[in-house]
Amino acid sequence: MSDSLKINLAILPEEGLRLTFSEGSVWFQGCFGGGALPEFSLVSADVDCLITRSGDTIYVRGDLKAQMRQECSRCLEPATFSAGGAFAYTLVPEKTETAEDLELSAQELETSYYRGDFIDLAPIICEQIILLAPMKILCTEDCKGLCPHCGVNLNTGSCTCRSKKVDDRLAVLKKFKVIN
């Protein structure tokens, strides 16, 4: 994992620190430290952010553009997609209160905490990448998917399963007659 994403707060300039970097799949996998990886893989991530300070409060504002790869939800072929957007974090020094003393306000829910003189941006960027990933990935908007009976990819071939297969549970409805 890159040490360039660790910010020393003791030497953070008054005007803030602009940070621009690009990372790839090896860096992203390192964010999980051997834990469970997300279903998608990161091709590349480009980040441009500004880290500023007001007293002990640290503000991180930036833009993220990512290229990701995952299997299409319909046909299971590899699909590459782009995602991006702005992000903002407010970080304050970690509190020493015990768990029973904590009652979080709505403002505190949008606040993260740091300890010591360093902030590691890697977990923040990794979290943003995960939040940008869509739940359903399609290789194309008009993907036909797989045949549920024989498994053929309907984008590249065809089958006759649909015309000859009738669900036995619905066969009784063929005898159904509507009387006016």
pLDDT at 104: 57
Instruction: Give dist(CA 69, CA 47) in Å, integer.
Output: 18
Instruction: Give dist(CA 21, CA 124) in Å, integer.
Output: 14
β-partners of residue 112 are 91
pLDDT at 85: 92
Instruction: Give dist(CA 154, CA 151) in Å, integer.
Output: 9
Count other Cβ atoms within 10 Å, centred on residue 62: 21
pLDDT at 11: 86
Q: What is the pLDDT along the chain (180 residues), one digit of tens a residue?
A: 445 688 888 888 888 899 998 988 888 888 887 778 888 999 999 999 999 998 889 999 999 999 999 999 999 999 999 999 999 999 888 876 545 556 655 555 567 888 888 888 888 899 999 998 888 889 998 999 998 888 899 999 888 776 556 677 877 887 888 887
pLDDT at 79: 93
89: Cα within 13 Å, side-chain hemisphere: 21
pLDDT at 18: 93
Contacts of 162 (CB under 8 A, 6+ apart): 147, 149
Quote the pTM value.
Answer: 0.73
